[in-house]
């Protein structure tokens, strides 16, 4: 079963605007991670937030985690055309049985120049 | 450069013809995994390995085999491919153990397999 579900499925914005993507999950987690995938290519790890953290920053990325609501958000500030990609959240469930990451279906972000 | 290398990048084959997709990592990672990605279904785990000679099934293992004889290699074997195995396949690796909670996965570039 799908653990993480991203929302929206697709998002189109203008260059310079901020992009916010949300992820909801169902079970308790050790950590939640966000990945980027350019069309047909491998996924690239962006940022990891542990279950005892509420917010984390990395460059233009800001991730929040609300374990009471079982949700996370990824904010990309001052977006660029190069940010056009699919973004996936992935959860590492607790208690850990095999360190498996379960991925959502992704949000397709299009940044128009 | 630290990376996960998959080969081939593209493969078209016929039903029933055995094939192997290779995966190699140069980061001394303990944990390796195979995923398939299909439209509308996202990424689903096929098999994983927590270390040499330790492998186990993921969510969709039917029709696939794996082996882990060396730490760096984790090939995916389709002994009798069928059209429903047409998909985009990814190999991924991680340090493993508690480190998996710190660093995430490193993915290969993917293998697009078509079975006709």
Distances (CA, A) of A89 to A63, A65, A71, B59, B99: 11, 12, 10, 18, 19
Q: What Rg value do the Cα atoms of chain A yield, rounded? A: 13
Whether A2 and chain B come into contact, CB under 8 Å, resolves to yes
Split at pLDDT 50, 70, 90, the class of B97 is low
Picking from A33, A42, A105, the nearest residue to B110 by CB comes out as: A42
User: Do the strands A61-66 and A55-58 form a parallel or antiparallel pair, or are they unpaired?
Assistant: antiparallel
Token reading at B99: 């480190």
Chain B residue with the nearest C-alpha to that of A34: B104
Picking from A72, A77, A34, the residue whose alpha carbon sits closest to that of residue A59 is A77
The per-residue pLDDT of chain A, averaged, comes to 90
Whether A110 and chain B come into contact, CB under 8 Å, resolves to no
- B66-90 per-position pLDDT tens digit: 999 999 999 999 999 999 999 999 9
A104:B42 CB<8 A: yes
Residue showing tokens 């998996």: B100
A48 contacts in chain B (CB < 8 Å): 101-104
- A3-47 per-position pLDDT tens digit: 677 888 999 999 999 999 999 998 888 889 999 999 888 999 999
Interface of A with B in 62-101 (CB under 8 A): 88, 92, 98-101
Q: What is the rounded average pLDDT of the residues A105-109?
A: 93
Whether A45 and chain B come into contact, CB under 8 Å, resolves to yes
Partnered with residue B105 across adjacent β-strands are none
Chain B residue with the nearest C-alpha to that of A51: B101
Split at pLDDT 50, 70, 90, the class of A2 is very low
The per-residue pLDDT of chain B, averaged, comes to 93
Whether A28 and chain B come into contact, CB under 8 Å, resolves to no
B31:A99 CB<8 A: yes
Whether A33 and chain B come into contact, CB under 8 Å, resolves to yes
The answer to whether the beta carbons of residues B30 and B97 sit under 8 Å apart is: yes
Q: What Rg value do the Cα atoms of chain B yield, rounded? A: 13
For B12, phi then psi, to 5°, come to -115, 130
Q: What is the rounded average pLDDT of the residues B10-23?
A: 97
User: What is the DSSP code string of A32-60?
Assistant: EEEEEE-TTS-EEEEEEEETT-SEEEETT
Whether A11 and chain B come into contact, CB under 8 Å, resolves to no
CA A41 to chain centre: 17
Q: What is the pLDDT of residue B74?
A: 98
């Amino acid at each position: 079963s799908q653990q993480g579900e991203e929302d929206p499925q697709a998002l189109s914005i203008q260059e310079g605007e901020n992009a916010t993507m949300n992820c909801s999950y169902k079970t308790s987690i050790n950590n939640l991670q966000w990945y980027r995938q350019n069309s047909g290519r491998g996924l690239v790890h962006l940022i990891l937030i542990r279950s005892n953290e509420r917010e984390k920053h990395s460059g233009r990325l800001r991730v929040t985690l609300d374990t009471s609501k079982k949700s996370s958000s990824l904010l990309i500030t001052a977006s660029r055309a190069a940010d056009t990609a699919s973004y996936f959240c992935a959860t590492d469930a607790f208690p850990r049985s095999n360190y498996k990451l379960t991925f959502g279906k992704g949000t397709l972000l299009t940044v128009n120049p | 450069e630290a990376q996960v290398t998959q080969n081939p990048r593209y493969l078209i084959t016929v039903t029933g013809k055995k094939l192997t997709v290779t995966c190699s990592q140069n980061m001394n990672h303990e944990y390796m995994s195979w995923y398939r990605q299909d439209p509308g279904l996202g990424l689903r785990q096929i098999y994983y390995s927590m270390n040499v000679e330790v492998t186990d099934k993921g969510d969709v293992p039917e029709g696939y085999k794996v082996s882990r004889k060396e730490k760096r290699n984790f090939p995916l074997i389709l002994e009798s491919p069928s059209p429903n195995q047409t998909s985009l396949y990814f190999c991924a690796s991680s340090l493993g153990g508690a480190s998996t909670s710190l660093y995430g996965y490193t993915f290969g570039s993917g293998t697009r397999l078509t079975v006709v």
